[in-house]
Amino acid sequence: MSSQPDMNAILHAMHTQIATLTLQLAELQTNPPVATPSVEKKFNKKVEIIADPGAFEGDRAQFAEWWIKLQIWVKANWDTFADDFEVATVVLSRLKGPVAGRYAQVRLQECYTAGVWPTWEDLKKEIEKYFKPQADRDWARQQIRSFKQGNMRTDDYITRFLALSIQGGLGNEHAVELLERNVNPRIAEQIYLQDTRNKNLSLAAEEVHRVGRAMELYQMHQGGGSTTKNNKSQRRPGLSNQHKNSHGFKPFRLQPGQGAPMDIGAVQEGQMCRFKGNCYNCGQEGHMSRDCRKGAQAAQQKNNQGRQACQLESEY
């Protein structure tokens, strides 16, 4: 004969005790014990505004919300619990589903057999250890898959992406793949063209940050303003960058045009009108040497003089 108690008898007694406790709790909530008017009024007020969160059915995506509500509910109804046994049985009996329900069943059996019930603080730490990290990981992994950079600043995007990757417990290779897929396409293009891809997440994030910040600073120098909005420049042809840019940047050669943030290499029409350098032929502003009329006239005069000299030499 085994010395262990009959498991069926233990489970039956446990269920009977839980049912009795539930009835007692309902009766206490319906007819609270006599107390001082101030305490009774305060307790009833809490019960009215704090609803019973019910049972956790096993959906990990909803665990965080349910767990917060349950802790608030326990705190609001703390005076109705006589001891650790009542708190533990009420909380554990609300864990349902294939995983949470199995955990609660085993834990109740262990406590009943040993005759020792955890305090509320210990029980909170225990439940969070088993369920909260997994729920947070599932949420983070779901978020990072569709976490596109869009018009977000590179600094902010890298910070949030790395936080989600750590919270989700992603492997290095998977995280790098998601980073290359979700980062701004123009940044990814430059990294590919420069052949600076890296299989290490930390180094890959540094490279994305380097390229992204360089492109954002370039856009700011071109008068694009904020790098967080995808707006085209409203600068009129003929208005210099010096008056448009707070850094006092003044171009001395033809500058690329204005496009969306990080759009490098696009040239707008009318760009020649914005040239403010000096002509190498005449020294005047407003045009380039290849468009200088005086330079063309001087070159034509020089050619005429050359032809005249050749004619004189042939005559002699």
Domain assignment of residue 142, yes or no = yes
Q: Is residue 71 part of a domain?
A: yes
| pLDDT of res. 298 | 61
Q: Are residues 106 and 38 in the same domain?
A: yes
pLDDT category at 156 given cuts 50, 70, 90 is confident
Instruction: Report pLDDT for 195.
Output: 87
Contact 88, 117 (CB under 8 A): yes
Domain membership flag for residue 198: yes
| Range of the structural domain that residue 313 is part of | 272-316
Query: Could you tell me which residue, 273 or 108, shows the higher pLDDT?
Result: 108
Quick check: is 255 in a domain?
A: no
17 and 84: one domain? yes
Q: How far apart are CA 279 and CA 209, in angstroms?
A: 39
Type of residue numbered 215:
M
Domain boundary among 130, 152, 175: 130
Does residue 45 sit within a domain? yes
Last residue of a domain, one of 186, 221, 256: 221
Residue at which a domain ends, from 82, 111, 130? 130
Range of lowest pLDDT (12-16, 88-92, 159-163, 228-232): 228-232
Asked if residue 144 belongs to a domain, the reply is yes
Q: Do 85 and 64 lie in a common domain?
A: yes
How many Cβ atoms from other residues are within 10 Å of residue 308's Cβ? 10
Residue 122 contacts residue 88 (beta carbons within 8 Å) = no
> Does residue 257 lie within any of the structural domains?
no
Q: Please state the pTM of the whole predicted model.
A: 0.36
Of the listed ranges 97-101, 194-198, 239-243, 281-285, the one predicted with least confidence: 239-243
User: Is the pLDDT at 204 greater than 50, yes or no?
Assistant: yes
- Do residues 111 and 144 share a domain? no
23 versus 163: which is more confidently predicted? Answer: 163
pLDDT at 278: 61
Q: Has residue 229 been placed in a domain?
A: no
Q: State the total domains in the chain.
A: 3
**Cα–Cα distance for residue pair 76/50, rounded to 1 Å:** 7
> Are 24 and 55 within one domain?
yes
Verify that 40 and 125 share a domain, yes or no.
yes
pLDDT at 67 over 50: yes
